[in-house]
A and B are shown apart, each in its own frame.
Chain A
Amino acid sequence: MTRALALCAAAALAAAAYLAPAAGQMKAPAPAQAKAPAPAQAKAPAPAQAKAPGQGKAPAAERDATTADFEKFREVLEADNPAELFEAKGAELWKTPRGPKNASLERCDLGLGPGVVKGAYVQLPRYFADAGKVMDAERRIVHCMVTLQGFDAAELAKQPFSTDTRTPDPVAITTFVAGQSRDMKIAPPQKLPQEREAYAVGREIFFYRAGAYDFSCASCHGEDGKRIRTQQLPNFTRADEAVRSYQGWPGYRMTGGVMHTLQWRLWDCFRQQRFPEPGYVSDSLTALLTYLAVNSSGQVYKGPGIKR
């Protein structure tokens, strides 16, 4: 515990040196709100996030005709999102008695009390005393599937991501749960020491350079104006762009017609950085998700999204 805290302090110092001090710099535990005085690059009119398309808007200085076209394209797509089909599937899985214990998930406590789904997704990750751990949405759902329904955790971890022919149950259920927080403000709790520790560890991981290319999450997502090919990379350390890490996930990816959650997205980030594979619903991913969720606090979550 002490070593972890010392590392966190060191990481915080390292982070401050690594990134040029900017008005939008995140500080633990409570990050700056979205409407804080914005640096020069922030978008000029700041419309209510609820009106913006799922992916959010690039800073005004970079917005051009191509980006405007992409955003219009996304708005049209979001009108009828196949993710809704997975929300419906997840809703069915939630109430159907299944597994060795032949029980439904209706007694699953996602943080707001047993069976309370509405609003739960935007108040995760959080600490759960019954598990002694901070958990994100998918991790908590898997926990409930194991404890309430008797499913085997190792089996669920074997092939946890969607393919073109199979959508794992936790993915559909997470999509359903996420949809029940549609149009609500992202508000993960940071009251308990374990929750604050998860944020600090997540931030350390975010800035930790490793792997064959010496990448960290911050390599791509720690500065303004970065881009990979045609994909603009939001700066997750800024309050007004951090929500783009959260918004749109779980997301339906049209390529292959697959439903993906944040567990998949972070796994894929690790793969792209040529890092070792992170454990499914592991502590490190929960910590990273806590960092991203807390950074997005106050922004409106518009529900499952759609992607290329």
Chain B
Amino acid sequence: MADPMKIRAKLDGDVLDVRVLMAHPMETGQRKDAAGNVVPLHFIQTVTAQLNGKTVLQADISQAISRNPVFGFRLKGAKAGDKLAIAWVDNKGDKRTDEITVGAG
């Protein structure tokens, strides 16, 4: 599995403010390295969020997203004790899943 994400979730009533910091080079495939060779395309393609095992968000993203991206979203209907899992898969098939337990608001 790839490097771990950092997930922050703040509960305000029943709305969960989530920010995920993902570790990924997010190469556009248009850069050249010092030797002049093109650095191959390597980026996160899908991000999913599951609350207590149920998928609540799915995002298809592209190589236009920057390196080590931060993904923020708000989720209604969450409560303390819920399990929030974020998973991503990249164009090489590499993946990563991390989970947190929602704390009290």
Measured CB to CB, the residues of A under 8 A from B are 79-82, 84-85, 88-89, 164-165, 252, 254, 257
Task: Find out whether the CB atom of A82 lies under 8 angstroms from the CB atom of B68.
Answer: yes
B65-79 contact mask (Cβ, 8 Å, vs A): 1 or 0 = 011101010000000
B22 CB to nearest A CB, Å: 8
A74 CB to nearest B CB, Å: 15
Task: Find out whether the CB atom of B33 lies under 8 angstroms from the CB atom of A85.
Answer: no
Within 8 Å CB of B70, what residues of A? 80, 82
Once the chains are docked, how many angstroms separate the CA of A72 from the CA of B77? 31
Task: Find out whether the CB atom of A82 lies under 8 angstroms from the CB atom of B3.
Answer: no
Once the chains are docked, how many angstroms separate the CA of A164 from the CA of B66? 13
Residue of A nearest to B20 (CB): A80
Task: Decide yes or no: A80 and B19 within 8 Å by CB, A85-B68, A88-B4 being known contacts.
Answer: yes
Residue of B nearest to A259 (CB): B68
Task: Decide yes or no: A82 and B21 within 8 Å by CB, A88-B4, A257-B67, A257-B68 being known contacts.
Answer: yes
B80 CB to nearest A CB, Å: 22
Within 8 Å CB of A82, what residues of B? 21, 23, 67-68, 70
Task: Decide yes or no: A85 and B19 within 8 Å by CB, A80-B70, A165-B33, A257-B67 being known contacts.
Answer: no
Within 8 Å CB of B19, what residues of A? 79-80
B42 CB to nearest A CB, Å: 11
Task: Find out whether the CB atom of B67 lies under 8 angstroms from the CB atom of A85.
Answer: no
The size of the chain B interface, using a CB distance under 8 A, is 15
Taking A82-B23, A89-B3 as given, write out 8 further A-B residue pairs in contact, using a Cβ cutoff of 8 Å, ordered by the A residue number: A80-B70, A81-B21, A82-B68, A82-B70, A85-B21, A85-B23, A85-B68, A257-B67
Within 8 Å CB of A164, what residues of B? 25
Once the chains are docked, how many angstroms separate the CA of A254 from the CA of B66? 9
Once the chains are docked, how many angstroms separate the CA of A75 from the CA of B67? 20
Q: List 25 A-B contacts (CB under 8 A).
A: A79-B19, A80-B6, A80-B19, A80-B72, A82-B21, A82-B67, A82-B68, A82-B70, A84-B6, A84-B21, A85-B3, A85-B4, A85-B6, A85-B23, A85-B68, A88-B3, A88-B6, A89-B3, A164-B25, A165-B25, A165-B33, A257-B25, A257-B66, A257-B67, A257-B68
Within 8 Å CB of B3, what residues of A? 85, 88-89
Residue of A nearest to B6 (CB): A84
B41-73 contact mask (Cβ, 8 Å, vs A): 1 or 0 = 000000000000000000000000011101010
Within 8 Å CB of A88, what residues of B? 3-4, 6
Once the chains are docked, how many angstroms separate the CA of A254 from the CA of B68? 9
A159 CB to nearest B CB, Å: 12
Residue of A nearest to B21 (CB): A80
Residue of B nearest to A163 (CB): B34
Within 8 Å CB of B6, what residues of A? 80, 84-85, 88
The 4 closest A-B pairs by CB, nearest first: A257-B67, A82-B68, A80-B70, A85-B23
Once the chains are docked, how many angstroms separate the CA of A85 from the CA of B4? 8
Residue of A nearest to B34 (CB): A163
Once the chains are docked, how many angstroms separate the CA of A81 from the CA of B66? 13
Residue of A nearest to B39 (CB): A165
Residue of A nearest to B26 (CB): A257
Once the chains are docked, how many angstroms separate the CA of A81 from the CA of B72? 13
Within 8 Å CB of B66, what residues of A? 254, 257
Within 8 Å CB of A254, what residues of B? 66
Within 8 Å CB of B33, what residues of A? 165
Once the chains are docked, how many angstroms separate the CA of A84 from the CA of B3? 12
Once the chains are docked, how many angstroms separate the CA of A88 from the CA of B5? 10
Residue of A nearest to B19 (CB): A80
